[in-house]
Structure 1
Amino acid sequence: MNKKIFISLLLVLAALIGYLLYLWLSDKVGAGQEISWGAENRRKIVLVSPGGIYAPITDNFKAGLAQRGWQENGNAVFLDLTYAGRGESWSNTLAGLAAQKPDLIFAVTAPAVLAVQDLLPELPVIFAAVGDPVAAGLIKDYSHSSARAAGCADWTDNLAAKRLEIAHEAFPSLRRVVVIWDAADKNSRVVASRLSGVAAALDLEFFSVPAAGQTEYLLAAAGLSAADYDLVFLLPDELTILHWPQLAQKAQEAGLPVIGYVSGQAEKYASLTYGAAAADLGRQCAPLAEKILLGEPISESPSTIPEKLYLTINLLAVKSANLTVSPAVRLRADKIFE
């Protein structure tokens, strides 16, 4: 046989063997992934979050579980899902998720929790960053969770009045407060109504602007003007959770301070926030999740409230609105961004 032909045949044979080896390894890796996700000694945990300022919640939740021995890709497997609102893609995602039979879902914010429960009612859910889980129908009370959910409230709804009082103390010259909120959120309607009474007691003008959908919300944000308002107040409904950066940026462009409900908002556009820290909520939820993973019925797991509340001030945002923070409020601040 010609030497060149022989060498060519060897090269072809080597390439064929390499290709077959590649297919065999690919099949093994794929099978291994399926086995690891469904193995008896691994727990499947789905993380559902809007991301952004809420990312520290899921990060610290995973860290808290790791400290308790639940190691990622060891005895636990995590699947991260970003909640960007309900829709066909969200329904399809959860429909596919149901077939995987996860052991636990960790959902961040009330809209994400409710969206999960509507489509996957049979799965246990640990929630975080829910303003009022009792009003939202997630639990009966804090000592008696439901058969479907338990978790860590952040008290944003209950603290709304306190945030407005602090904002008034911090910026006493500001009189006109505007809240743009999701008209589909019944709880925001209640909180906005409650804030109207608080504003009246503080001798403030209160403007409640319900928005029916994303387009109306962003149009209302684009229409913010210092000629009409003095201060923008945020409520944690679905439209605000998903679009608050656009709203806050428009407010900043109009020279209006923004009052937020979670400390992470003060790292960007908000002038002042009062509420729980995202990282704390994540760590606080880890022990609850561990109980469920070890077989305790979720109905026997009490829900919790924030262990600490933080007053955070962003002096750059305050300065951009041509304001100063009253000395009394500044002295009480837990964290100041300069």
Structure 2
Amino acid sequence: MKLTSICKAIALSAAVLCSSLQAETVYVATTAIVEHPALDAVRDGIKEVLNENGYTDENLKFTYESAQGQPAIAAQIARKMVGDAPDVIVAIATPSAQAAASASKDIPVVFSAVTDPVGAKLVSTLIQPGGNVTGLSDMVNVKQQLALIQEFLPNLKTIGVPYNPGEANSVSIVNALKEAAQEVGVTVIESPAPKSSDVMIASKQLVGKVDAIYCSTDNTIVSAFESVVKVGMDAQIPVFAADTDSVERGAVAAVGYDYGDLGRQTGDIVVRILKGEKPGMIDVKLAEGTSLYVNPKMAAKMGIEIPAAVLARATKVVE
């Protein structure tokens, strides 16, 4: 009888050990080029979907590292992650995605918040891209955003764009905006800001030259967005954004994606890979759903009013 008790104890210990080992089998390593509300929302949305699909603190190792806006640090993080051998690497924003794709030859890489994954050379095609990389593109509809700005400023002639020429996604958006603006007789004036510390200067260089300032999903600009807002208030130039999170930080308006939703859409891809699908067989997903955010208080501080038609269809009015 004593032997039976010992056997039961051994069996119970083995079951606990087995359960413990299983609890550590899923490892998702996440990184982003910089921390700001939009990219943080992507990360949080990914984790929400993982939790909803049964990957919780009991059986999920979920890590996150920021490259603090530095591509060189992004490359170091990517190499470290590959050495840690996670089940999936999730890279948020183009520079981090490029670093992860370059470092990993077999570990699945899922990118998110990448404007032009083909142009960034992450994949050669959006349909079943092959290899170990797939993800989600947040290519913005610049025509839709330009049309919104024109509703505020019917006589719009010039629009200023601070941007980081070293970010492939930003260059793609600026080029698309210039094409769209040319069609409606609007001139785009670029103002380079290679680093977050350059954003204030780049914004000031647009004063006296433009009717409005437009900030795309450029991570360098968004990370220092308050600098653009200050210039807009001081010079009475309305500031518009491509992401809705920036409206809560001071933009007059934005028609764009809710980046929490984009994180959830990315999380769906991660779950598919964890369940056995090959990343190369999963089509790159184009972000779905747009929202219209407006900020009446900031509009007044920048010398304009929100048109009644815009206010009536706004998804959210930031108070």
State the shift of 1:107 in Å. Answer: 1.7
Unaligned 5+ runs, structure 2: 1-17
Who is 1:118 aligned against?
102
Within a 5 Å distance, the mapping from 1:1-338 to structure 2 comes to 41-49=24-32, 50-72=35-57, 74-86=58-70, 89-156=73-140, 159-214=141-196, 216-225=198-207, 227-338=208-319
Distance 1:298 1:229 in 2: 44
Letter of the aligned partner of 2:99 in structure 1? A
SS at match of 1:102: coil
Deviations 1:29-62 (A, max 9, x none): xxxxxx9998685211112123433212111211
Sequence identity of aligned pairs in percent?
Answer: 22
- In 2: Cα distance, 1:198 partner to 1:301 partner: 31
Matched residue, 1:29 = none
| 1:63 to partner: Cα distance | 1.1
- What is the TM-score of this pair, normalised by structure 1? 0.79
Native 8 Å contact 1:177 1:232 kept in 2 = yes
Q: Quick check: 1:37–1:77 contact (8 Å CA) kept in 2?
A: no
Residues 180 and 187 from structure 1, CA distance in 2 versus in 1: closer, same or farther, beyond 3 angstroms? same
CA distance in 2, matches of 1:324, 1:184: 35
Once residues 308 and 106 of structure 2 are traced to their aligned partners in structure 1, the CA distance between those partners, rounded to angstroms, is 52
Greater Cα offset, 45-54 or 293-302: 45-54
Contact 1:155 1:275 in 2 (8 A): no
Q: How many residues align?
A: 300
Counterparts in 2 of 1:187 and 1:37: CA distance versus 1, 3 Å: farther
For 1:249 and 1:36, the matched residues in 2 are separated by 54
Give the distance between the partners of 1:191 and 1:81, measured in 2 at CA: 26
Q: 1:287 to 1:89 in 2, by over 3 A?
A: closer
Per the TM alignment, residue 89 of structure 1 is displaced from its structure 2 partner at its CA by 4.3
- Cα distance in 2 for residues equivalent to 1:99 and 1:136: 24
Q: C-alpha distance in 1, partners of 2:20/2:152?
A: 51
Q: Would the alpha carbon gap of residues 193 and 296 (structure 1) be closer, same or farther in structure 2, given more than 3 Å must change? A: closer
* Number of the residue aligned with 2:8: none
Deviates more, 1:321-330 or 1:242-251: 242-251
Paired amino acid for 1:54? L
Please, which moves more after superposition, 244-253 or 95-104?
244-253
* Contact persistence 2:75–2:100 (CA under 8 A): no
Q: 1:148 to 1:237 in 2, by over 3 A?
A: farther
- The code of the aligned residue for 1:135 comes to G
- With over 3 angstroms needed to count, the CA separation of the structure-2 counterparts of 1:219 and 1:171, relative to structure 1, is same
Q: Distance in 1 between matches of 2:115 and 2:156?
A: 26
Distance 1:290 1:97 in 2: 19
Whole-angstrom CA distance in 2 between matches of 1:314 and 1:166: 14
Q: 1:230 to 1:212 in 2, by over 3 A?
A: same
Q: Separation in 1 of the partners of 2:113 and 2:250?
A: 20
Uncovered stretches (5+) of structure 1, i.e. residues with no partner: 1-34
CA root-mean-square deviation: 2.6
TM-superposed CA distance for 1:289, in Å, is 0.7
The 3-state SS of whatever aligns with 1:267 is: coil
Q: Quick one: distance in 1 between partners of 2:105 and 2:20?
A: 22
Aligned partners of 1:154 and 1:275 also within 8 Å: no
Which consecutive aligned stretches of 4+ in structure 1 deviate over 6 angstroms post-superposition?
35-40
